[in-house]
Chain A
Amino acid sequence: MSTALYGLRENKRIGRVMRGFSSHLFLILISLIIGMPFIWMISTAFKSPQEVAIFPPIWIPERLRWDNFVVAWESAPFGRFYINSLIVTGWGVVMEVIIAALTGYAFARIEFPGRNLLFMVMLAAMMIPGQMALIPNYVTLFHLGWINKYAGIVMPHISSVFGAFLLRQAFLSMSGELFDAATIDGAGHLRSLLNLALPLARPVVATLTLYLFIAKWNDYLWPLIITNTQDMRTLPVGLVMVRSAEYNIGPEHLMAATLFVLVPVLLVFFMAQRQLIDGIAAGALKG
Chain B
Amino acid sequence: MDAATISSSRQGVSRWNRRKITDWLAFLGFTAPNFILLAVFTFWPVLYSFYLSFYRWNMIAPTKKFIQLENYARMLEDPIFWQVLRNTTILAVSTVCIKLTIALFLAVLLNQKLKGRDVYRAIVFSPTFTTSVAIAMVWSWVLDPYYGLLKLPLRWLGLASPAWLTDPNWALPAVIIVVIWAGIGYDMVIFLAGLQAISADLYEAARVDGATTWSLFRHVTLPLLSPTTFFLLIISIVGAFKAFDIVAVMTGGGPLNSSNVYVFYLYQNAFRWFKTGYASALAVVLFVIILVITIIQMRLSRRWVHY
Report the separation of the CA atoms of residues A130 and B241 in the bound assembly, to the nearest whole angstrom: 12
- Asked if B279 and A254 make an inter-chain contact with CB atoms under 8 angstroms apart, the answer reads no
CB distance from B33 to the nearest CB of A (A): 5
**Chain B residues with CB below 8 A from A186, complex form:** none
Known contacts A57-B149, A281-B190; 20 further A-B pairs (Cβ under 8 A):
A24-B114, A53-B147, A55-B146, A55-B147, A102-B31, A110-B27, A110-B30, A125-B42, A129-B286, A130-B42, A134-B271, A159-B42, A188-B22, A188-B26, A214-B129, A220-B249, A254-B141, A255-B138, A262-B134, A285-B194
Report A126-150 residues with CB < 8 Å from chain B CB. 127-140
* Interface residues in A, total, Cβ within 8 A: 93
- Asked if A261 and B131 make an inter-chain contact with CB atoms under 8 angstroms apart, the answer reads yes
- Asked if A281 and B193 make an inter-chain contact with CB atoms under 8 angstroms apart, the answer reads yes
**Chain B residues with CB below 8 A from A44, complex form:** 141
**Chain A residues with CB below 8 A from B144, complex form:** 251
CB distance from A2 to the nearest CB of B (A): 24
- Asked if A159 and B125 make an inter-chain contact with CB atoms under 8 angstroms apart, the answer reads no
Report the separation of the CA atoms of residues A241 and B238 in the bound assembly, to the nearest whole angstrom: 28
- Contact residue among A36, A136, A254, A274 (Cβ-Cβ distance under 8 Å from B44): A136
21 A-B pairs whose Cβ atoms sit less than 8 Å apart in the complex: A20-B114, A27-B110, A31-B123, A55-B147, A57-B152, A106-B27, A110-B27, A111-B27, A125-B38, A129-B287, A130-B242, A132-B283, A135-B283, A156-B37, A189-B26, A189-B30, A218-B130, A240-B249, A243-B137, A265-B129, A273-B122
A136 with B132: in contact, given A34-B185, A52-B147, A220-B245 (CB under 8 Å)?
Answer: no
A218 with B132: in contact, given A37-B139, A106-B27, A110-B26 (CB under 8 Å)?
Answer: yes
The 5 A-B pairs with the shortest beta carbon distances in the complex, nearest first, are A136-B45, A281-B193, A133-B45, A159-B37, A106-B30
Binding site for B on A (CB under 8 A): 20, 23-24, 26-27, 30-31, 33-38, 40-41, 44, 52-57, 99-100, 102-103, 105-107, 110-113, 115, 118, 122, 125, 127-140, 155-161, 164, 188-190, 214, 217-218, 220-221, 224-225, 236, 239-240, 243, 251, 254-255, 258, 261-262, 265-266, 268-270, 273-274, 276-277, 280-282, 284-285
**Chain B residues with CB below 8 A from A156, complex form:** 37, 41
- Asked if A103 and B44 make an inter-chain contact with CB atoms under 8 angstroms apart, the answer reads no
* Interface residues in B, total, Cβ within 8 A: 97
**Chain B residues with CB below 8 A from A134, complex form:** 266-267, 270-271, 283
**Chain B residues with CB below 8 A from A164, complex form:** 34
- Asked if B38 and A239 make an inter-chain contact with CB atoms under 8 angstroms apart, the answer reads no
A258 with B137: in contact, given A55-B151, A103-B34, A159-B34 (CB under 8 Å)?
Answer: yes
Report the separation of the CA atoms of residues A220 and B190 in the bound assembly, to the nearest whole angstrom: 25
Report B32-51 residues with CB < 8 Å from chain A CB. 33-35, 37-38, 40-46, 48-49
Question: Of residues B137, B194, B238, B266, which shows the largest number of chain A Cβ atoms within 10 Å of its Cβ?
Answer: B137
**Chain B residues with CB below 8 A from A280, complex form:** 128, 186, 189-190
What 0/1 pattern do residues 231 to 269 of B give for CB contact below 8 A with A?
100000010011011001100000000000001001100
Binding site for A on B (CB under 8 A): 20, 22-24, 26-28, 30-31, 33-35, 37-38, 40-46, 48-49, 52, 59, 102, 105-106, 109-110, 112, 114-116, 118-135, 137-139, 141-142, 144, 146-147, 149, 151-152, 155, 181, 184-186, 189-190, 192-194, 197, 231, 238, 241-242, 244-245, 248-249, 263, 266-267, 270-271, 276, 279-280, 283-284, 286-287, 290-291, 294
- Contact residue among B45, B59, B189, B294 (Cβ-Cβ distance under 8 Å from A277): B189
CB distance from B191 to the nearest CB of A (A): 10
Report the separation of the CA atoms of residues A183 and B13 in the bound assembly, to the nearest whole angstrom: 18
- Asked if A125 and B43 make an inter-chain contact with CB atoms under 8 angstroms apart, the answer reads yes
- Asked if A135 and B26 make an inter-chain contact with CB atoms under 8 angstroms apart, the answer reads no
Q: Is the interface of B mostly helix, strand, loop or mixed?
A: helix
For A122, the closest partner residue in chain B by CB is B38
Report the separation of the CA atoms of residues A37 and B287 in the bound assembly, to the nearest whole angstrom: 35
For B125, the closest partner residue in chain A by CB is A277
CB distance from B115 to the nearest CB of A (A): 8
Report the separation of the CA atoms of residues A139 and B266 in the bound assembly, to the nearest whole angstrom: 16
- Contact residue among A37, A157, A220 (Cβ-Cβ distance under 8 Å from B248): A220
- Asked if B149 and A218 make an inter-chain contact with CB atoms under 8 angstroms apart, the answer reads no
For B108, the closest partner residue in chain A by CB is A23
- Asked if A131 and B286 make an inter-chain contact with CB atoms under 8 angstroms apart, the answer reads yes
- Asked if A285 and B193 make an inter-chain contact with CB atoms under 8 angstroms apart, the answer reads yes
- Asked if A127 and B141 make an inter-chain contact with CB atoms under 8 angstroms apart, the answer reads no
- Asked if B181 and A34 make an inter-chain contact with CB atoms under 8 angstroms apart, the answer reads yes
- Asked if B37 and A106 make an inter-chain contact with CB atoms under 8 angstroms apart, the answer reads no
Report the separation of the CA atoms of residues A172 and B70 in the bound assembly, to the nearest whole angstrom: 50
- Asked if A258 and B138 make an inter-chain contact with CB atoms under 8 angstroms apart, the answer reads yes
Report the separation of the CA atoms of residues A57 and B151 in the bound assembly, to the nearest whole angstrom: 10
Report the separation of the CA atoms of residues A280 and B139 in the bound assembly, to the nearest whole angstrom: 25
- Asked if B42 and A128 make an inter-chain contact with CB atoms under 8 angstroms apart, the answer reads yes
- Contact residue among A24, A131, A159 (Cβ-Cβ distance under 8 Å from B244): A131
- Asked if A140 and B41 make an inter-chain contact with CB atoms under 8 angstroms apart, the answer reads yes
**Chain B residues with CB below 8 A from A106, complex form:** 26-27, 30-31
CB distance from A92 to the nearest CB of B (A): 12
- Asked if A99 and B33 make an inter-chain contact with CB atoms under 8 angstroms apart, the answer reads yes
- Asked if B31 and A118 make an inter-chain contact with CB atoms under 8 angstroms apart, the answer reads yes
- Contact residue among A55, A155, A217, A221 (Cβ-Cβ distance under 8 Å from B41): A155
CB distance from A98 to the nearest CB of B (A): 8
CB distance from B170 to the nearest CB of A (A): 18
Report the separation of the CA atoms of residues A138 and B22 in the bound assembly, to the nearest whole angstrom: 38
